[in-house]
Amino acid sequence: MIILEFFCGTKAIFDCNFLKSIANTEVLKNASVFKRLLKIEENEYFKVEPFNNKIFIEFKITFSEWSVLLQFLKFKSLLLFDDYYENQKIIRNLIETCNKFGGIPYFDNYLKSKDNIINSPYNPQSPIEDYQNKYNWRMMSITNIRMNTDESNNWSITQKIHSLGTSPNLNYVFVRKNKISNEEICIYDLDKYKTLDPKPIEEKSSNYKDQESFDPTFNVSCYD
């Protein structure tokens, strides 16, 4: 064991003996570059070079990032949280760390078998993201939202839309609620929120332009 400095200045023990003990196991199978970089496996076809004790600094790998990788190598799984987005951050960082070391095929296969931790939950924040047509949508002025009424009718705010309206202080938000019926789609007037004309539901939501370019007088499709 040796003490190495990691990116951002943290120093910690580097247990090369542990890595050597798993070098020929399935978790490091075909991870040839990783093993050569960390000197846990030599190859007769390559020149033998001394261990680079600044490898973590040069590769910009923090001790926290190395700890997550080491944890995976030890337990062959990820210790994740209940927070989906925090888990995604951990996974993305670990993918980047593995790639810096030339890739670890066992980790790649692990991710392929765990679709539930890779695929994001269906949580559209605007009509254009609701490609499954699961929600009714409206656009409402922040000043006109009546929280008690909207919440009692199962409407919830998803996303603020900036720079919408004739006044710089007038902003709109998307609100949504689960559909009761998939039989029709209605168009609402933004000012009065009045049903104007029903039409059949399409496979995907309408092709909206960039949300920040919306004209507040534009009739927006929403479900009801």
Residue-wise pLDDT tens digits, 129-140:
887 788 898 887
Residues of the chain with pLDDT under 50: 148-149, 152, 169, 181-224
**Strand ranges for the chain from DSSP E:** 2-5, 11-14, 135-141, 156-161, 172-178, 185-188, 195-199, 220-222
| Same-domain status, 6 and 91 | yes
| Same-domain status, 108 and 132 | no
pTM of the model: 0.55
* pLDDT for 201: 33
| Same-domain status, 25 and 82 | yes
Residue 16 domain boundaries: 2-118
| Same-domain status, 111 and 202 | no
Q: Name 41's Cβ contacts closer than 8 Å, sequence gap at least 6.
A: 20, 23, 32, 35
| Same-domain status, 113 and 6 | yes
* pLDDT for 210: 41
- Distance, in Å, from the CA atom of 108 to the CA atom of 104, rounded to the nearest integer, reads 7
* pLDDT for 189: 39
Closest CA to 139 of 177, 178, 176: 176
Question: Coil, strand or helix: which one is 61?
Answer: coil
| Same-domain status, 8 and 100 | yes
Name the maximum alpha-carbon separation found in the chain. 77
Over the range 152-186, which residues count as b (16 or more CB within 10 Å of their CB) and which as e?
Answer: eeebebbeebeebbeeeeeebbbbbbebeeeeebe
Last residue of a domain, one of 118, 138, 155: 118
- Distance, in Å, from the CA atom of 58 to the CA atom of 130, rounded to the nearest integer, reads 43
Q: What is the pLDDT of residues 40-92, one digit of tens each?
A: 987 666 677 889 999 999 999 999 999 999 999 999 998 888 777 788 889 99
Please count the structural domains in the chain. 2
Both tokens assigned to 1 = 């064991």
| Same-domain status, 134 and 111 | no
Last residue of a domain, one of 97, 118, 139: 118
**Angle between helix 63-75 and 84-100 (nearest 10):** 90
| Same-domain status, 146 and 166 | yes
| Same-domain status, 181 and 206 | yes
| Same-domain status, 135 and 179 | yes
* pLDDT for 56: 97
| Same-domain status, 144 and 114 | no
Last residue of a domain, one of 118, 143, 162: 118
* pLDDT for 99: 96
| Same-domain status, 11 and 110 | yes
